[in-house]
Structure 1
Amino acid sequence: MTPASSDSLLRRDIGKVGVATIAMNGVIGSGIFALPAIAIMKAGYFSPWIFVLCGILILTVALTLARAASFFDITGGPIVYTTHAFGRFVGFQTGLLIYVSRVAAIAASANLIVSYAVPILPSLESGIPRQAAIVGYISIATILNAKGVRSGMAAVYVISVFKLLPLLLLIVIGLPSVQWGLVVGADLVGPGALGQTMLVMMYAFIGFEFSLIAAGETRDARTAIPKALVGTVAAIALCYTLIQLVAVSVGPDLGTSEAPLAEVARRLVGPFGALVLALGAVFSIGGGSLTSLLTAPRLTFALARDGSLPAWFGVVNERTHAPVNAIVFCGAFSMVLAVGQQFVWLATLSTVVRLLTYALCIASLPIIERTIATEERQFTLPGKLTIPAIAFMLTLGLIAHSTADAFVITGGVIALGTVVFWLCTRKRASGDQRTTS
């Protein structure tokens, strides 16, 4: 089955607002509710500037991927770009890395959402009740997405409202308390510590590529995705910086807090503010997980479509027009990781692996530019390949600050992917020979 014919089984039910919502939910999830405390611990009043630097880096990456997206309108996003540029093996590895990253993020979010719910239901702190809550949450999210992209998007829209309001209120209420002088005059962080801190903080910024993956279910994808993507990433970077300004000003002592924004809200508004922020965290993390479960299965669907994974992953339900098998597998895989690992390990795995896939996508753009003709009204970049070159160097520089464990995990994923790719393509080649003989 060709990509075009396979994608024709999917419904194009996602519009411009949906693209922006997917990108926003892909980024605003568990990270912003946990990482401000780590930023304060590592950089103090300089921490808002780290968020500014992370915002600049991720915007260069988003601009580059938006340009690549303007050439394609089929499901897969980064898989499609790297396959076109470097062949099926690199495309497969790109998809596998993003997939593992997203499953790890779903698992991390499930752990954190239950942690934020502990003040409301103390029995969820540990043991069987906690594990049951994690499994139950992922199960509900999986079922919603299995019903089709419309059901999944409807849930994402509702959750988006509840996740954004507490964060925006925190900014509005907290801005008068910002210690501008202390932030502007903050001591600089050394290059080594800066790189390591940015690597951790980037977990809060990654995920915007969700909107690229669902191109096969997006109306006017080549136009809608690039514009919505860049605007959403820029707005999120600004929002994060303002949140960190408020957090470090109101809570410069919150470096070890497990729920820093809830504590900031408590100091600004009282116990009611802390409760509202905790509920906002639950909805925010939930929205991120729902979006992950909406888009991550589309990666395995795209790989099955291209013959790099068993055809089972590419089966589309005739009634819901959703890749149900891929969705159910993603949910089950997420449960295994969520029950077996903790937030920090999962977040680190998700970030390092994702940065590597960003670098691969950026490297593919020059080849795409040379081999595919441009069209009228296509999204363009000022300075041609200048921004992609900057994005590539910044991304590699950040990857260099990864730990040895992160490189070992990534290498293990690539090695496993190589075996899976070889087995699947060998089976497909054998089948093609039998057909022609």
Structure 2
Amino acid sequence: MTETSANKLGFWSIFFLGINSIIGSGIFLLPSKAYADVGVASIVVIIINAILALCLALCFAETSSIFDKNGSSFVYAKEAFGNFVGFEIGMFAWFIGIVSWAAEIQGFLTTLGGLYPSFLDPYYNKLAVIGIGIFLGLLNYLGIKFSKILNNVITVSKLVPLFLFILIGIFFINFSDFTPLIPKISQGLSTGNLGVATLVIFYAFTGFDLLAVAAEDMDNPTKNLPKAIISVMIFCSVFYLLIMVLCIGLLGDKLATSTLPIAAATASVFGKSGFLFIIFATLISIGGITIALSFIAPRSVQALADNNYLPSIFNKKGRFGTAGFAILITTAITVSLALYGNFIFLASLTVIARLIEFISTAMSVLVFRKRKMKALYKIPLGPIIPLTAIVLSIWLLYQSSLEKIIFILIGFFIGYLFYIFYAKKQLKKE
């Protein structure tokens, strides 16, 4: 039997991995912040983010149909813009995977703390972080088969409660809560609140970019990966729009002050039992994306080692066919960050870094087309979609604070030092 059927991810496993990589803490915890900024126009925020995310997903779909190896944005940037830019994007991709994984661990424990306050205690919180990190690191080390089965089961388990929330909640919507839509849009556009709200909610749409990081672990990636990326983004965009509409229609102005908006919306119809039901769904959802990130994050550093940017030990396979050292070092850094920061701190670190990564991939599409590189999937409408993705991403970058921009510049400088003192020397030996 070949490796493609038994030990690699097929289309549906890639699709489920994508769902798990995206639907998580963001949509469960952030709608209230968007509503507090722009009111009912938060629906427009979802639509803007859906357009941007779909444009970016299409860019990743085209580039992933050209390459069949690990690395995602790192591979595309290296091919399009050279070794240095590729290295910087590769380091950011690894950083994004690590910080996102750490953020979801803390998001899980924060939600769990709503039921069991002990998990909010610093001592028990740290013990739980260490325990979760060790468990997921070992699960990852044991190989694709174990992670694939658990990933698929959790994805199905978390989607069922959310579908029930949508199907039942739609009958209890108060349509009068949507009447100030136009004034809120005008206010948001004039004050800049719309841009800030869009930047915040964009975290809920991220994760699709990490799919291509593990391309070598997928069956026929140049065919299955583009289809999966596009399918995942269309599904999540429609899903998020329905959830936002329901949260507004069930909570009204109370949405602005709710810390657990979907759970609060369910409680408005079914009381405490509904609240607990969605809390458990939230835990399953965040748990699912945490597992997905534990699988994806180490593959980024493997891709750097594949290209001689890092020592080969980062891609040395063990008895289970997985890169043990890459998993170990990634897990150790993830646990350290999760011990240091809370969910909001960690989530805020990923958004701007991802926008830099996304811009490089959208630009890579234009470069590859100019070089006439063969792509099994090609985005329609010529350069319009990649250029739209670039413009919207730059607009979102403009909404960020100076502090976050400085943080990214520091990250670039650290990457530059690594490149000069190790990677560049290794590349000269080739």
TM-score of the two chains, using structure 1 as the length reference: 0.92
Once the two structures are superposed, the pairs formed by residues 9-48 of structure 1 within 5 Å of their partners are 13-48=8-43
- 1:55-74 to structure 2, matched below 5 A, reads 55-74=50-69
CA apart distance, 1:140: 1.3
Alpha carbons 2:42, 2:197 under 8 Å: kept: no
Distance in 1 (CA, whole Å) between partners of 2:260 and 2:371 is: 49
Answer whether contact 2:74 2:93 (CA < 8 A) is retained.
Answer: no
Deviation per CA, 1:267-290, whole angstroms, max 9, x where unpaired?
A: 222222211211111111111111
* Residues 157 and 110 (structure 1), Cα distance of their counterparts in 2 relative to 1, 3 Å cut: same
**How many corresponding residue pairs?**
421
**Per-residue deviation, 1:426:** 4.6
C-alpha displacement of 1:26: 1.0
The aligned residue for residue 82 of structure 1 is: 77
The 10-residue stretch of structure 1 (352-361 or 252-261) with the greater mean CA deviation from structure 2: 252-261
Is the CA contact 1:108–1:346 (under 8 Å) kept in the aligned structure 2?
A: yes
1:391, CA displacement in angstroms? 0.9
Whether the 8 Å CA contact 2:11–2:225 is kept in 1: the answer is yes
Supply the distance in 1 between the matched residues of 2:216 and 2:354 (Cα, whole angstroms): 21
User: What pairs up with 1:210-225 in 2 under 5 angstroms?
Assistant: 210-225=210-225
1:284-295 matched pairs, under 5 angstroms = 284-295=285-296
Q: Which residue is equivalent to 2:420?
A: 422
CA distance in 2, matches of 1:132, 1:76: 32
The equivalent residue for 1:351 is: 351
* Distance apart, 1:225 and its partner CA: 0.6
- Please name the residue that 2:265 is paired with: 264
Deviations 1:35-94 (A, max 9, x none): 011112112222122111111111111111111111111111111111100111111111
Secondary structure of the equivalent of 2:380?
Answer: coil
Structure 1 pair 356/373, CA: closer, same or farther in 2 (3 Å)? closer
Measure the CA separation in 1 of the matches of 2:225 and 2:59.
12
Q: How do 1:181-220 and structure 2 match up within 5 A?
A: 181-183=176-178, 185-186=180-181, 187-188=184-185, 189-191=187-189, 192-220=192-220
Match of 1:4 in 2: none
Specify whether residues 414 and 234 from structure 1 end up closer, same or farther in structure 2 by C-alpha distance, changes over 3 A only. same
Q: Deviations over 1:137-194 (max 9, x none)?
A: 1221111111112211222112112211121111111112233454264121423111
CA contact (8 A) 2:17 2:292 kept: yes
Task: Report the TM-score, using the length of structure 2 for normalisation.
Answer: 0.94
Q: Distance in 1 between matches of 2:278 and 2:108?
A: 12
Which residue does 2:384 correspond to in 1? Answer: 386
CA–CA distance in structure 1, aligned partners of residues 17 and 73 of structure 2: 16
Match of 1:135 among 107, 123, 130: 130
Please give the secondary structure, in 1, of the residue aligned with 2:30: helix
Q: Percent identity?
A: 27
Q: Secondary structure at the match of 1:382?
A: coil
SS at match of 1:255: helix
What is the rounded CA distance, in whole Å, between the counterparts of 2:28 and 2:373 in structure 1? 43
Pairwise mapping of residues 306-317 of structure 1 onto structure 2 (< 5 A)? 306-317=307-318
**Counterpart in 2 of 1:413?**
411
In the alignment, the residues of structure 2 paired with residue 102 and residue 184 of structure 1 have an alpha-carbon distance, to the nearest angstrom, of 40
Q: Describe the superposition over 1:81-124 as per-residue Cα deviations: whole angstroms up to 9, x where unpaired.
A: 11100111111111111221221111111111111112332211
Q: 5 Å matches for 1:271-286?
A: 271-286=272-287
1:395 to 368, 382, 393: 393
**Matching residue of 1:333:** 333
Q: Alignment RMSD, CA only?
A: 1.8
1:165-184 matches, cutoff 5 A? 165-183=160-178
The residue identity in structure 2 corresponding to 1:428 is: Q
* TM-aligned CA distance change 1:395 to 1:12, over 3 Å: farther
- For structure 2, the 5+ residue unaligned runs are none
